[in-house]
Homo-oligomer: A and B are copies of this chain.
Amino acid sequence: MTDFTPIGIVRSPFRTAGAPPFQSSFSRVEGTVEVFPEYQEGLASIGGFSHLILLSHFDRAERRALTELPLSDGQAEHGIFATRHYNRPNPIGISYVSLTRVEGGLLHVTGMDLLDGTPVLDIKPYIPEFDSIPHAVTGWVSAKHIERIRETSILAENALSADRRGL
């Protein structure tokens, strides 16, 4: 067993399971990361980075599954380590958000794909030479699956806009 203590919390407009876009890369939704006072010293010189990696705890994942119907494909189960589903043995999420402004311990970001109140375990700067592998081959995940994820993310944003207009 390994104990981690959250260093901050996500503030997002998404409050119910299933509401957020499936991937931060397809989200233009704004949100904030509130870094707790005792960790704010760790934010020094973060302002120069355009993108941050958030490691978060999917604290409202319902179960810890070994196989799962992927969010993009209700037809066939895959091993959980071959999917990005949140029902994982260790429900740790990776989000890549665009940093728009730092205001003390508050990081204003776009690309939100997390539920409001999600605990943040770590923040790392995104560095393309370390993190970007444009040529990676994606196994069972086809262009069609990715397009479905993109479409679902747009629907999630539209639902949010409708909700804000009281529709």
CB neighbours of A44 from chain B (8 A):
67, 77-79, 82
Q: Are A125 and B83 in contact (CB under 8 A)?
A: yes
Q: Are B4 and A79 in contact (CB under 8 A)?
A: no
Q: Are A47 and B139 in contact (CB under 8 A)?
A: yes
- The answer to whether A82 and B45 touch (CB under 8 A), given A5-B2, A89-B7, A90-B122, is yes
Q: How many residues of A contact B (CB 8 A)?
A: 69
Q: Are B48 and A140 in contact (CB under 8 A)?
A: yes
Q: Bound state CA distance, A80 and B48, in angstroms?
A: 14
A38 to chain B, nearest CB (A): 9
Instruction: Judge if A146 is at the interface, Cβ distance under 8 Å.
Output: yes
Task: Tell me if A's interface is mostly helix, strand, loop or mixed.
Answer: mixed
Nearest CB in chain B to that of A126: its residue: B136
Q: Bound state CA distance, A138 and B149, in angstroms?
A: 28
Instruction: Judge if A13 is at the interface, Cβ distance under 8 Å.
Output: no
Instruction: Judge if A11 is at the interface, Cβ distance under 8 Å.
Output: no
A163 to chain B, nearest CB (A): 25
Q: Are B130 and A81 in contact (CB under 8 A)?
A: no
- The answer to whether A146 and B127 touch (CB under 8 A), given A49-B137, A82-B49, is yes
Q: Are A136 and B130 in contact (CB under 8 A)?
A: no
Chain B proximity mask over A47-72: 1 for CB below 8 Å, otherwise 0: 11111110101010000001100000
Q: Are A92 and B89 in contact (CB under 8 A)?
A: no
Q: Bound state CA distance, A24 and B130, in angstroms?
A: 7
Nearest CB in chain B to that of A141: its residue: B127
